[in-house]
Amino acid sequence: MTFVRILSPLRLIFMIFLAAAVSFGIAKHTPSSAGDATGLTYVFDPVVSTTSTVLHVTLKFQGGPQGTEEIELPSHWAGSANHLHALSSDTTITDTDQANVKIARFPPKSQVVIAYDLLKDWDGPLVQPFQFHTVVMPQYLEINGDNALVHPKIDKTTMVSVNFDWQKLPKDWALATSFAISSGPTDRRQSFTGQWRYVDNALFTAGDFRIHRFEIRKKPTVLAIRGQWTFTDEQAIIDIQKVIGFVREFWHDDNFPNFLITLKPYDQEHGSSDGSAFTNAFWMYMSNKDPFSTQLTQLSHEAFHAWNVKRMGVAPEGKSDIEWFHEGFTEYYAQLLVYRAGLMELPAYLENVNRDLRSYSDSTSPYIRGRVLALWLDSQIRKDTNHKSSLDNVMFDMVREADKPLTLSRILETADRYLSADDRSQLHQAVKQPANVPAPIDAALGACSQFSVSIDDASIFDLGFDLTGTKAARRVMGVRNDGPAFKAGLRNGQQTAGISVYNNQPDKIAKVSIVTETVTETGTQPIEYYPRKLVKVPQYHLDQAAYASNPEGCRKQ
Ligand SMILES: [Zn+2]
């Protein structure tokens, strides 16, 4: 993910279901007869033409003695299953009052076979946020358990044994998934035995990928990359090894029997990227003309998710109150570890922190709110423990105690161990109500004296009216009387002919074209203003002379 990222709500929902714990060995080519484990088989049959692809999927499982089963359709991300129908005899599928839940009825103890199709369900180019849909293209496909696998209702910790049959893929396609990397067209059957959550969170990629096998700290890793870039595949691999290697070193954990990274271009030249973490894998999308060096913090962020929260315990179903920890603390470390690794300089790191501090008071993003909270917490723990401990200890404790459920109260209890009573109540307060946390005192760079912090006036983005509502109604809505739009003459109810706004950019003029009742040459009147307001925020200031005399002085903690 990038520094200011737009979060899809679907993604947020999905992230909560990310689960924890240890990695597992992968058994290839094993039959699905694992004792009491629920057995499922998926057969994938893509019909590829020059303009489109349809991925036919067949699901088989052994029906129970009741002759009925709840069937769940993909409902997170932009999951979809088209033309769902039963193939086994005397099997019916009926609707329920939930769109993503069906009821299958079948002869008791018979094999149930259900078929459905996955396809590209949007028009136009592949840009944000269509990577979250089932990407099924003439050149390649990329799907995940959560957006593509229809399945009987299964708890996420239930043991399953699942076969994946990809034998009908085009012969020249590569196949790389969370469970195995195919060595060629005769190696297209994969299987997995373990908890269902690893399947639900699995990544499946096939198509015109270049497959590179290499090592990170002696552990096998695969890059599946497609498209043309301004960098070579080898250059990307060097950066991946450096960044992910540093993150694994931070955690003192190299338990990665296999790991997959996929990299695909957006149909957009500059400025867009996305990363998402899966079972033993993460994907990256980026603009096709951007340099790979712009993605180092994204790499670090996705690599960090392998622990936060995947190795911190299982979250109870349906809980969604820890995004600030999952995304924001991950983002805090993503930036900090790239800096500590020597891949970002101190001025860039501080400016990056300053940007989030400026956004903090108005932001609802768990990335920004959580990152600033982590910055504050790291500083307080160092102060309260006389620099014996840091936020790192909280993170390590969370992994060490992964046998406990992953809940908000456990995160707070773990942090409390390292805090004074005052700071404990500040933390609990900040988590419950999104109130301002106090200014962090030292940006958590230990005893570094190359910068200071002060409370400054800063301009932050403030449009002063409801942009989404106004665009939809073509009439001005939600103008705040104390905001810059009102001051510039914008009023509720005015009819709009056009709007030009640079989101989150307080120094770019906002233009709203209003339809006038009086006759003018164009019939419209432009209203232009800077979309910003002044706030007081903590900001870090580099001591240029101290930094110049020892640029590496703050790097080591
Ligand atoms: Zn993330």
pLDDT in tens, 191-238: 999 999 999 999 999 999 999 999 999 999 999 999 999 999 999 999
- Between the CA of 532 and the centroid of ligand 1 the distance, in Å, is 28
Is there a contact between 527 and 510 (Cβ–Cβ < 8 Å)?
no
Co-location of 521 and 483 in the same domain = yes
State the distance from the centre of ligand 1 to the C-alpha of 34, rounded, in angstroms.
34
Q: Do the domain assignments include residue 450?
A: yes
Only one residue has tokens 């007081």, namely 536
Q: Are residues 420 and 365 in the same domain?
A: yes
Residues 6 or more apart from 388 whose CB is under 8 A from it?
none
DSSP conformational letter for 110: P
| Count of C-beta atoms within a 10 Å radius of residue 170 | 12
Backbone angles phi, psi at 338, to 5 degrees: -65, -40
Q: Are 340 and 423 in the same domain?
A: yes
pLDDT in tens, 440-465: 767 778 778 899 888 898 888 899 99
Q: What is the mean pLDDT of residues 276-288?
A: 94
How far apart are the CA of 288 and the centre of ligand 1, in A? Answer: 22
Q: Into how many domains does the chain fold?
A: 2
Q: What domain range includes position 319? A: 3-7+14-22+307-456+536-549
Task: Provide the whole-model pTM.
Answer: 0.81
| Domain-located, residue 482 | yes
What's the length of the chain? 557
3-state secondary structure at position 360? helix
Q: Considering the domain boundaries, does residue 424 fall inside one?
A: yes
- pLDDT higher than threshold 60 for residue 12: no
Percent of the chain with pLDDT over 90: 71
- Provide φ and ψ at 507, rounded to 5°: -100, 5
295 in a domain, yes or no? no
Q: Tell me, what's the pLDDT at 433?
A: 73
Name which of 526, 513, 527, 535 is nearest 462 in CA terms: 535
CB atoms within 10 A of CB 142: 24
Q: Say which residue the tokens 């790979």 belong to.
A: 292
Task: Give the CATH number of the domain where residue 371 resides.
Answer: 1.10.390
Label residue 373 left, alpha or beta by phi (over 0 means left) and psi (-120 to 50 means alpha): alpha
Residue ranges near ligand 1 (ion) with Cβ within 5 Å: 327
**363 and 389 part of one domain:** yes
Asked whether residue 358 falls in the same domain as residue 412, the answer is yes
Of 411 and 28, which is predicted with more confidence? 411
CA distance 158 to 144: 19
Residue 471 has a pLDDT of 92
Q: Which residues contact 64 (CB under 8 A, 6 or more apart)?
A: 108, 109
- If asked whether residues 324 and 449 sit together in one domain, one would say yes
Residue at 85 is within a domain: no
Q: Cα 12 to chain center, whole Å?
A: 8
> Would the pLDDT of 9 be above 60?
no
Mark whether 377 and 424 lie in a shared domain.
yes
Residue 516 lies in a domain: yes
521 and 410 in a common domain: no
Q: Does 130 map to a domain?
A: no
pLDDT band at 17 (very low <50, low <70, confident <90, very high): very low
Task: Report the alpha-carbon distance of residue 216 to residue 256 in Å, rounded.
Answer: 9
Distance 537 CA to ligand 1 centre (A): 26
Q: Tell me: do 376 and 508 sit in the same domain.
A: no
Predicted pLDDT of residue 520:
64
Residues 525 and 544 in one domain: no
Q: Specify if 214 maps to a domain.
A: no
Residues 418 and 499 in one domain: no
329 CA distance to ligand 1 centroid (A)? 9
- What are the structure tokens assigned to 476, written together? 């001005």
- Same structural domain, 407 and 468: no
Q: How far is the CA of 502 from the centre of ligand 1 (A)?
A: 25
The amino acid sitting at 359 is S
Q: Cα of 331 to ligand 1 centre, how many Å?
A: 7
